[in-house]
Homo-oligomer: A and B are copies of this chain.
Amino acid sequence: MVIKEFSIHPLAVADPPLRSSYGRHAPYALRTLIRLDTTDGICGVAEAHGGEGSLAALHALRRLVLGMDPFALHDLWMRWGAEEAAGDRTQTWMVPGENPHDARRRAFAAVEAACLDIIGKAVGKPVCDLLGGRARGAAPFSAYLFYKHAGGGGEGADEREDEYGECLTPESMVRQCRRMIAQYGFRDIKLKGGVLDPEIEIETVRLLRAEFGPNYPLRIDPNCAWSVETSVRVGLALREELSGGGYLEDPCAGLDGMAEVRRRLLAAGADIPLASNVAVTGFEDILPAWRGHAVQIVLSDPHYWGGIRAVQRLGDLCRCLGMGLSMHSNNHLGLSLLIMAHTCCATPAMEFACDTHYPWQHSSDEILAGGRVQFENGAVRIPDRPGLGAEIDWDRVARLEERYRRLPYRRRDDAAEMRKHVDPAWQRILPRW
């Protein structure tokens, strides 16, 4: 069995105007669907980051994939040079999906997932069962809350209900969270911060805790928007709220700053773990992060760490170093959600609920035949089907691909959206507070 076809489908997915320190989400999030077909007539699929950077890497990888045995993944990794990620890795200002250091690993990860989908279908087993089996039966996710402007995003938004409405105050965030938990049953809460004045974000976290109580661990992620000083101040203000299973994620830019934040929090008796997915995006980053006590929880992601197996190996590494393991999310569709769920279930060390943007995508853009993936008590159960368990609605794919080709969006640029809609002079400034 070898791979005889490799098709690459860029997709534009409607996305509401969510806010972060990067700016404001464009009306479309970009994703890529890849499809591998084997000489045995088996088709494997995977979802990857989107836009022209992702497409270029996948097209470059394509010639190595055609003709390969889908089991021969180490060989592909080596031929593709995915190990090499030299250069300055102090990449704390970049969106993970756009970081050039990890571009080869992102492309490899997509092919790995599609090959595992093929293998699972050939063998009649779900992907996580090919990887040592399940450390847990379902993958828990967190309620990922965003400050946002009104509107559903993308074409047809006017006809769709703006499910969560505008949310730029602590009180509306509590409503957002209540609604999301009622619908999905999440048991962990993540607030995307770095958007409003830190005092308002502190107040938001406090209100969330008051509403949901200590059984809903809280994490806040300002994406490096704060100075060391501000990070320490927020940490101390939220020392109760962010402990007991919660964490403070990428409060400021750079490992040195994170290490100082941690030192100062500890010195003040606040043992709040720091997490990262921007200062730590590859195996090369772990040791510097660990050595300086800058990061206590690594946010993995099968899409950019080099695949599902890479996250499994990262889990053992983290355990050995006494670090925790959680999972980062970009905007994604149901196929990525399944990749993340298989990864979580096959990784014993994944002891935190994973992040997911899934509630922010609308069912009308779902590419899975049969509609959106369902959650039970905030968790995704592995489908009782071989491979990733995804059946693709190719008409939907064609529609999202046509939309990608018609629209001008080619890379994520949240700052451009801020300049267009909020402030013509807006720039991402680190630290902002």
Instruction: Tell me the A residues contacting B by CB distance below 8 Å.
Output: 69, 71-78, 122-123, 125, 129-130, 132-135, 283-284, 286-287, 309-310, 312-314, 316-317, 319-322, 346, 348
In the complex, the chain B residue whose C-beta lies closest to that of A83 is B348
A78-B348, A348-B78 are contacts. A134–B72 as well, Cβ < 8 Å? yes
Apart from A69-B133, A287-B321, A317-B317: 19 A-B pairs, beta carbons within 8 A: A71-B125, A72-B133, A72-B134, A74-B134, A74-B135, A74-B348, A76-B133, A77-B348, A78-B348, A122-B123, A130-B130, A132-B309, A283-B316, A283-B320, A310-B316, A312-B313, A314-B316, A316-B317, A317-B320
A132 touches B73 (CB 8 A): yes
B133 touches A346 (CB 8 A): no
Write the nearest CB–CB distance from A123 to chain B, whole angstroms: 5
B129 touches A71 (CB 8 A): yes
Write the nearest CB–CB distance from A289 to chain B, whole angstroms: 11
Main SS of the interface on chain A? Answer: helix
In the complex, the chain B residue whose C-beta lies closest to that of A116 is B132
- 9 cross-chain CB contacts under 8 A: A69-B129, A73-B132, A73-B133, A78-B348, A123-B123, A283-B320, A287-B321, A313-B316, A317-B320
B129 touches A72 (CB 8 A): yes
Contacts of A309 in B (CB 8 A): 132
Query: What is the bound-complex CA distance between A321 and B72, given in angstroms?
Result: 26
Contacts of A123 in B (CB 8 A): 122-123
Query: What is the bound-complex CA distance between A130 and B133, given in angstroms?
Result: 13
B75 touches A134 (CB 8 A): yes
Query: What is the bound-complex CA distance between A346 and B78, given in angstroms?
Result: 12
A287-B320, A313-B313 are contacts. A130–B348 as well, Cβ < 8 Å? no
Write the nearest CB–CB distance from A81 to chain B, whole angstroms: 13
Contacts of A314 in B (CB 8 A): 316
B71 touches A133 (CB 8 A): yes
